[in-house]
Structure 1
Amino acid sequence: MEDTSKLNTSKLGTKEYWDDFYALENSNFKENPGDTGECWFADNDAEEKMIEFLMDNLDQQNIHRDCSMIDLGTGNGHLLFQLHEEGFNGPMMGVDYSEKSVQFAREISESQFPGYENIKFEAADIFDPNWECSAYDVVLDKGTLDAIALSGIKLDGDRSVVDVYPKVVEKLLKKDSVFLITSCNFTQEELIRIVESDSLKVWKTIDYPVFEFGGVKGTTICSIAFVKR
């Protein structure tokens, strides 16, 4: 059976693309401080649904108002800013391998939340074994696995970044903590097959509108919460 989770490479998987993208977004922000850049999956309300999911599951697993969070591939930091606006006030870290992205997120943070120190941003390669990181109560991914899956990069010999990704996530999670991921490139079944392991188990999923074409039903996006056992 063909493995449909294997994606073709694309410029969307390159650091150069995202450096250029966020440099332009930052330039637009400097001209218009009201323009804080793209909100990925806005058409599907994915960000709102991820936040609603965390709010609906407060005091379950390690989800609390003051829980620690890390956003992988944070981009402009929009998800973390919105979580803060909704009352999550624990330490938040946004990481991205694009320095331009991190610079942009920091400038937005300083502009919108001057003096607030609970949201921090760091440029980092999460696949670097020398990257020093803490363990968190909640790990977030909104389209990051989608992007890195397009890179074609091989690690540890011939293992793809998709193969290595779950181990990176496990390292970032405390016991009984939650990994909430949203994808538009992988189906729910594919995402479970990629992420689930002896340590990471499916907990809950987020519902999206279902379409039907040619007798086949599906969605254009999926979000799944895993728990580290």
Structure 2
Amino acid sequence: MRLARLAPPDQDRPAFFARLEGAAALVYDGPPWLGGKTTGEAVAWTDVDLVCPVLPTKIVCVGRNYAAHAQELGHDVPVEPLLFLKPPSALIGPGQSIELPPESHRVEHEAELGVVIGRRCKAVRPEDALDHVLGYTCVGDITARDLQRKDVQFTRGKGFDTFCPVGPWIETEVDPAALRVRAIVNTQVRQDGMTAQMLWGVPALVAYISRVMTLEPGDVIATGTPQGV
């Protein structure tokens, strides 16, 4: 199932959630992670714009979750997940422009699998973690690498407005351990990896993060990026 958030080009109504089926978008009465259901209305989703499909309270990111990426940056492979946060103000949707901050001279791409939480979870076990997941989406962890290295932490270098493109929709029926992660920049393939290469898979990450902070419905986990930045 594909769940999207759509906005009419003329903005004559607010953005709305929908389930995509073929050329039709079946309109929901609210966010799917809050129990939104179809209203009976259907529109052609090619007549509306795809916008960011998530409205999270937080975006939890995992650093260096692929060994080869840690090594290409000159870091040791971590022994436990390395967590940081992106602000919701960094979110943009498909087709929106990433704004390059003038104080940075090296902005890099990081393609990642995004996990969208469907049920509130706190201190869940890995074997129960996927019961709390609504689905999966694409995340770009855009990074001002020079500022990250200068600051020796992640907040500024990864927190600029527009530094977290997400979308185009949420997929609910995929295997998170068997997905390809690619980044294409100006027609050139820069990253090409598999989620099976992650040091910690989705169940382990959801369980680990939920022991640190409560994950609310609609929250997003960015699971790390393969080599190639």
Asked if TM exceeds 0.5, the reply is no
Which bin holds the TM-score, normalised by the shorter protein? under 0.3
TM-score normalised by structure 1 residue count: 0.24
TM-score (norm 2): 0.24
Compare the two structures and name the one with the higher helix fraction: 1
Indicate the structure whose relative CO is greater, using CA pairs within 8 Å and at least 6 residues apart.
Answer: 2
